[in-house]
Chain A
């Protein structure tokens, strides 16, 4: 388990047991390596997809935004999930969650083979392949995140799912309130 490469294998094959070990061991450097590899792969695909006539600086900007927001999401996500998990009765383990969440980026690298397969297919089929592959990888990532929350905070599956859903729900409600306040502030004639 001490080996980084073996850890990647275990995350794919035995995620629950591996995430528990990661949560306890907190290998932050390895988690950063996973984040960096996965974000580089997806950034290169983004670059290939957006490059084209007239794209110009846009591509580099998009790649930069991808890296920046990926990192911010990881750091803030760990902080917010740790807070929410504690609220739902989990034990505090911010660094353990940070490390486990880093490993949840691993499935994203599989978008590369999905895209590579898609380019050999007829143009009309490609969006469907991308969509199917994207949904499968997103589902895998969400599952790993739930496992990471359970492993790092000792939560039940239900509470882990609740922890995962709470931040987007709160943000959604806040946005809705802001929207309603904005509408209410409109001058009616």
Chain B
């Protein structure tokens, strides 16, 4: 009887312990039972910003904006997260992808949470689009930022194809179906159409920056000629608020939401050893992307969605 009692007590202790472990649940390493309402979430936006799930690994996907949006949702749903720091280290990417992340950032802000940006080496173009949607921007004086503008890349291989004796025949449903096709020159009409698209995207970008930075559109347009600024220049021009690194941004976020003492930091989207071994990389490398064969490159083939805010 005594033996049974001892084993039963051990069983009960194990069950209660399991209950505690499961209840405290996800990411035990980052949880602190005594300070669950003092959290600052850090979300990483790294590499070229592209829509979708990105590359697929054995255990997950990475590199696309779906993962970033998912993390923004998680931060919004986590009541203990008081503010979010976006750590941006990106040269830009596609306009729709940057836009959808930017809109999620705005929704997060609308839910009552503060969003602060910390720029890394580079936060240009699409990276700046997202940053402009946040409450406050921290950058290093040497950070490369700005590049506010849009372009749609187009290469005309017609002469080369002629030299090689390659002639592509097309049966089109409409005159512009093969717009941006690399095997022929663009017509003036097509150029005007593409320019209209670029202008529209540019206008959307300018509006986001003007609203996000509370600047008038004319001032933004004057700055938004596509040039890159250093962090110092950007601060002087009002595109950045303060100098500082990630930890300065975290401290700034903590102050902004009234957290006294050291805030608890929850990192979303950071590569774990598991992801390193079996998952997909969260980052997309621009050089690798551009080095892909032409047929594999979504930037070049899917021309209408190839608008790159760069």
Contact = CB atoms under 8 A, between A and B. Distances in A.
User: Do A and B associate with each other?
Assistant: yes
Interface of A: 3, 5-6, 8-10, 41, 44-45, 47-58, 61-62, 109-110, 112-113, 115-116, 119-120, 122-123, 126
A83 B270 CA distance: 46
Interface in B1-35: 3-4, 6-8, 10, 13-14, 16-18, 20-22, 24-33
Given A5-B7, A6-B4, A57-B60, A52 B18 contact: no
Contact of A116 (B20, B27, B274): B20
B18 A58 contact: no
Given A56-B59, A120-B33, A126-B29, A48 B24 contact: yes
B139 interface: no
A62 B60 contact: no
A8 B60 CA distance: 41
A108 to B, nearest CB: 11
B278 A119 contact: no
A48 B20 CA distance: 10
B26 A115 contact: no
Given A10-B3, A41-B14, A62-B274, A54 B21 contact: no
A178 to B, nearest CB: 21
The DSSP consensus for interface residues of chain B is helix
Given A49-B28, A57-B60, A44 B21 contact: yes
A54 B17 contact: no
A29 B266 CA distance: 44
Given A5-B8, A109-B14, A55 B21 contact: no
10 contacts: A3-B4, A9-B3, A44-B18, A54-B70, A56-B60, A58-B60, A113-B14, A120-B33, A122-B32, A126-B28
A51 B60 contact: no
A169 B274 CA distance: 28
A58 B31 contact: no
Contacts of A51: 25-27
A116 B25 CA distance: 11
B32 A5 contact: no
A119 to B, nearest CB: 5
Nearest to B71: A53
B4 A52 contact: no
Contacts of B27: 51-53
A55 B62 CA distance: 11
Please give me the 10 A-B residue pairs with the lowest Cβ-Cβ distance, nearest first: A52-B27, A116-B17, A51-B26, A112-B17, A9-B3, A53-B268, A116-B20, A52-B26, A113-B17, A58-B59
A22 to B, nearest CB: 16
Contact of A112 (B4, B14, B70, B272): B14
A27 to B, nearest CB: 16
Contacts of B30: 52, 123
A8 B7 contact: yes
Name the residue in A3, A41, A47, A112 with the highest tally of chain B Cβ atoms < 10 Å from its Cβ.
A112
B141 interface: no
A31 to B, nearest CB: 16
Interface in B259-307: 266, 268-270, 272, 274-275, 278-279
Given A49-B29, A53-B27, A58-B60, A6 B14 contact: no
A161 to B, nearest CB: 28
B29 A58 contact: no
A5 B3 contact: yes
B174 to A, nearest CB: 42
Nearest to B267: A53
Contacts of B59: 56-58, 61
Contacts of B29: 49, 123, 126
B67 A54 contact: yes
Contacts of A6: 3-4, 7
Name the residue in A58, A61, A62, A110 with the highest tally of chain B Cβ atoms < 10 Å from its Cβ.
A58
Contacts of B14: 41, 109-110, 112-113
Nearest to A54: B269
A55 B67 CA distance: 11
Contacts of A61: 59, 278
